[in-house]
DNA sequence: CATGAATGAGTTTTCATTCAT
DNA sequence: TATGAATGAAAACTCATTCAT
């Protein structure tokens, strides 16, 4: 009969409710212009409740950013599939195919959830922290990790001998730049194409 | 008898003073956390003066961003040199060499002026406007233009046949991603290397 | 679960507190010279509370003016009495007596509450709206209405045949002029006499 | 060759220029919302010039009010004519005719110059001073004065025996009330009629 | 004298955070 | 626990007034 820090189901539901609206409002208004009251109203809770759950506005935002990131990661993970599928993709299309697929998955997600991009930018602007794609990629590591993919490709001779860390970093930077600029430029609709085109060149540069 | 857009020498000096401190404070504190009074104090002028010059906080920020961009552009332009020099570089190192050089120049500038990166991010966050590298590149166009460089390289057979616009976009995105992430990750010192490494791969992907 | 226009007892009390001091300060300082902070301090609430209740300074003022008017109307209404009493007065003293009585009641009220006059003037000056005496009279209409009184007096032959609307307007204008000028001239003490004297002439002009 | 406080012709012209625009702006915006800069701009002088001429904003306003009043008085005076004409009017139409004529003249002026009404109200609101119609009437005194007119009418038997001061006050109050309410109610066009109707009743009340 | 750039005191308004209920 | 009224610190912005040129 533990009365520990267990999480009551209703509590969790409320928390997620709040985060959902938090995401929406922070993305729309920006951190500075967001009134916590609005979020509370949308989530149909008192402002005090929001504060009890998250402590303060900054922590609410950070939780929101984490929440947003998790959703993106979940999408990509699901899209890419489990280890077997990853192995299968590499078998058929090589590391190139896999990396392209990951990029496309990211692009798809952000095209459909531009709010997530806004959140990333707000996070940077307010907290100059945690590089998003790193996060995303870190998630991906659980299923191979970009580093591993690159390392494998070098071993198989698909890629020329390059510094693995540099490649991973560059890959993430390219993804980040394409998504951020592409998404906010008002060309969301062409986001996937933009990322594809960029990766096509980049990945060609890794070929032997 | 109202004066037109005459430019009093002292006025301009004061204006630039304000912008210099503006840049510093906005970069350090972020747009939302900046108190215009602080800027006025640093610039040794009354708050009213700041407002008379720039109208309001947002316009002050935008003027600051423009100011920052111009400085970056000036640096790169100077670094790359005039048309002759550009031609010379292309002759010796190809378009690849030139694009790498531009990237390096950008990286150098932003490593030494990380404030400029902060401003870019703040601008995005507050105004979701004007993609910086595009701007920067647009400047560069006056001395060749990325498009022209790429087009030339395709003609000479240095680059394979690719969609020029896509290349330019990808190039700018990669630069943007590398600079922003590299700079704010606290690895400023390695910024040039990061950009170089990324461009090395990217440009290799354009080779025939 | 937002509350509708429920009326919390304490809330109303606080609201009226604020209005009372609002009236005092606005009357003493004028709209432009009033600092909302002063009102908040006097009412013993935070400035934010004032703003939560009334939105902004203008609305606070308007609410104050309404409040002031209601008090004046309540005074006059009470003084004149119900329909029976009105009928009785007309029976004994004619419409002349009733109109004189209303004028006197107004004068009495404003002599004792010169703040109400100030508020009227401030309202005019700032918002050029809502003619006060009309308002006041409109209230009075509920118990006969000046128009009705005049109409009745014409029917009974007490008044000569005149344009009813013109009479009502002139009556209100005379009252307004006497109260405003009398009150602010520093001759408050003689306000009742001033109104009486003016009405004596005016009403004589209506006799057959 | 006196270099005394003589008033240079140009200086006077400038002063009047300023007052003219002052009147316009104060009437349109109200005292509190008027920016002296606007007046200076319209008058095509530096702000400093305005201040050198009038000292400060309040004095500028007061000078404006005086200016406005003088214009009104000049109009009425001209309309009524000199002493001979006054005597002639009294001979033909009695004091009643003259007082009605004065009222009409006022009404005409204010209908055509509603700004003057605004100024009166602003003056009251900001300075709670100098009752306008008194001023106007005081001017009129130079040509007979309301008091004299009334006194004369009593002597000739045109008016019944009334307290002269009270009549004058009531007359001015009625005028004030009619003009102010009539003018700002948006019924400017009917202002003359409104005043006429009111005076008709009022003056009838003075008849023997 | 004329000017208008510079100033900073003074106000309005917002909103994160608290806490009594 | 949940709430939302109350708070007041914090900032943006204005504009009367001054004074160096």
Three state DSSP letters for C68-97: HHHHHHHHHHHHHCCHHHHHHHHHHHHHHH
Q: Looking at beta carbons, which residues of chain A come within 8 Å of B121?
A: 121, 124-125, 128
Q: Is the pLDDT of residue B48 over 50?
A: yes
Please, which residues have CB within 8 angstroms of residue B80's CB and are 6 or more apart in sequence? B86, B89, B98, B101, B102, B105, B140, B143
Q: Which of A137-141, C33-37, D104-108 has the lowest mean pLDDT?
A: A137-141
CA-based nearest residue in chain D for residue C167:
D198
| Average of per-residue pLDDT across A135-161 | 78
Token duo for residue C153: 């007096």
How far does Cα A68 stand from its chain's mean position?
Answer: 7
Taking the C-alpha atoms of residue C174 and residue D174, their distance in angstroms, rounded to an integer, is 4
Please tell me the predicted confidence (pLDDT) of residue B7.
60
**What contacts C199, CB < 8 A, 6 or more positions away?**
C99, C100, C103, C174
Q: What is the mean pLDDT of residues B139-160?
A: 82
Q: Which residues contact D166 (CB under 8 A, 6 or more apart)?
A: C194, C197, C198, C201
Low-confidence ranges of chain D (pLDDT < 70): 1-7, 129-144, 186-188
| CATH classification number, C61-204, choose in 1.10.357, 1.10.600, 3.30.420, 1.10.10 | 1.10.357
pLDDT one-digit tens code per residue, D111-139: 999 999 999 889 888 887 554 444 544 54
Q: Find chain A residues with C-beta within 8 A of B201's C-beta.
A: 162, 166-167, 170, 202, 205-206
In this predicted structure, the answer to whether residue B25 has a pLDDT above a threshold of 90 is yes
Per-residue pLDDT band at B112 (split at 50, 70, 90):
very high
B neighbours by CB contacts (3+ pairs under 8 Å): A
Q: How far is Cα B130 from Cα B63, in angstroms, rounded to an integer? A: 13
**Count, residues in chain A:** 208
pLDDT at residue number B35: 97
* Structure tokens belonging to residue A13: 């539901």
DSSP secondary structure code for residue A159 in this structure? B
pLDDT at A1 over 50: no
Residue A110, classed as helix, strand or coil, is helix
3-state secondary structure of B159: strand
Q: For residue C7, how many other CB atoms are within 10 A of its CB?
A: 9
What region, left, alpha or beta, does residue A207 occupy, with left being phi > 0 and alpha being psi -120 to 50 degrees?
Answer: beta
Average pLDDT over chain B, rounded to an integer: 87
Over residues B79-88, the mean pLDDT reads: 88
Average pLDDT, chain A: 87
In degrees and rounded to multiples of 5, residue D23 shows phi and psi of -55, -45
Nearest in space to C149 (alpha carbons), one of C207, C99, C105, C104: C99
Helix (H, G, I), strand (E, B) or coil at A45: coil
| D37-46 LR contacts (CB < 8 Å, sep 24+) | D41/B2, D43/D14, D43/D17, D43/D18, D44/B1, D44/D17, D45/D14, D45/D17, D45/D18
Considering Cα of D170, then D172, then D177, then D182, what sign does the dihedral take?
Answer: positive
CA angle B50, B122, B172 (to 5 degrees): 125
CA of B36 to C1' of F14 (A): 15
pLDDT at D27: 95
Coil vs helix vs strand at D168: helix
Query: Three-class SS of residue B15?
Result: helix
**CB within 8 Å of chain B, chain A residues 59-118:** 118
Where is pLDDT greater, at A166 or C73?
A166
The residue behind tokens 């935008």 is: B62
Average pLDDT, chain D: 87
Q: What is the structure's pLDDT at B144?
A: 55
What's the pLDDT at D5? 54
CB pairs under 8 A between C and D: 141
Q: What is the pLDDT of residue A5?
A: 54
> In the numeric block, which tokens belong to residue B69?
């961009």
CATH code of the region A65-204: 1.10.357
- Rounded to whole angstroms, how far apart are CA atoms C176 and C130? 13
Chain C 50-109 residues in 7 Å CB range of strand F: 51-53
What is the domain class of D62-204 according to CATH? Answer: mainly alpha
Strand F contacted by B48 CB (< 7 A): yes
The Cα of D31 is separated from the nearest Cα of chain C by a number of Å equal to 9
Residue D39 φ/ψ, nearest 5 degrees:
-60, -45
For chains B and C, having 3+ Cβ pairs within 8 Å is answered no
Rounded to two decimals, the pTM is: 0.88
CA D202 to chain C, closest CA, distance in angstroms equals 5
Residue indicated by tokens 């005019």: C124
pLDDT in tens, C121-136: 898 899 875 544 445 4
Among A110, A80, A95, smallest CA distance to A147 is for A95
Q: In angstroms, what CA-CA distances link A65 with A46, A68, A117, A188, D123?
A: 22, 5, 10, 20, 58
Q: Which of B4, B68, B61 is nearest to B34 (CA)?
A: B61
E strand bases under 7 Å from protein CB: 1-20
Range in A136-150, B69-83, B119-133 the model is least confident about? A136-150
Is the CB of B44 less than 7 A from some atom of nucleic acid strand F? no
CATH 1.10.730 is held by the domain B64-204:
no
Give percent helix, percent strand, percent coil of chain B, each to the nearest 5: 80, 0, 20
């Amino acid at each position: 009969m533990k009365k520990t820090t267990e999480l009551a189901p209703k509590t969790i539901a409320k928390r997620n409710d709040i985060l959902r609206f938090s995401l929406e409002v922070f993305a729309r208004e920006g951190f500075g212009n967001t009134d916590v009251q609005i979020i509370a109203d949308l989530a149909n809770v008192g402002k005090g409740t929001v504060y009890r759950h998250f402590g303060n506005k900054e922590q609410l935002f950070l939780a929101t950013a984490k929440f947003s990131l998790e959703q993106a990661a979940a999408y990509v993970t699901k899209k890419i599939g489990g280890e077997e599928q990853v192995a299968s993709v590499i078998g058929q299309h090589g590391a190139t195919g896999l990396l392209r697929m990951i990029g496309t998955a990211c692009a798809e997600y952000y095209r459909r959830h531009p709010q997530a991009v806004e959140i990333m930018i707000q996070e940077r602007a307010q907290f100059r922290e945690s590089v998003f794609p790193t996060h995303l990629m870190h998630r991906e590591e659980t299923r191979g990790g970009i580093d591993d993919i690159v390392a494998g490709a070098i071993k198989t001779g698909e890629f020329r001998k390059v510094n693995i860390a540099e490649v991973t970093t560059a890959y993430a930077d390219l993804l980040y730049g394409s998504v951020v600029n592409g998404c906010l430029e008002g060309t969301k609709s062409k986001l996937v194409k933009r990322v594809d085109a960029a990766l096509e060149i980049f990945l060609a540069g890794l070929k032997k």
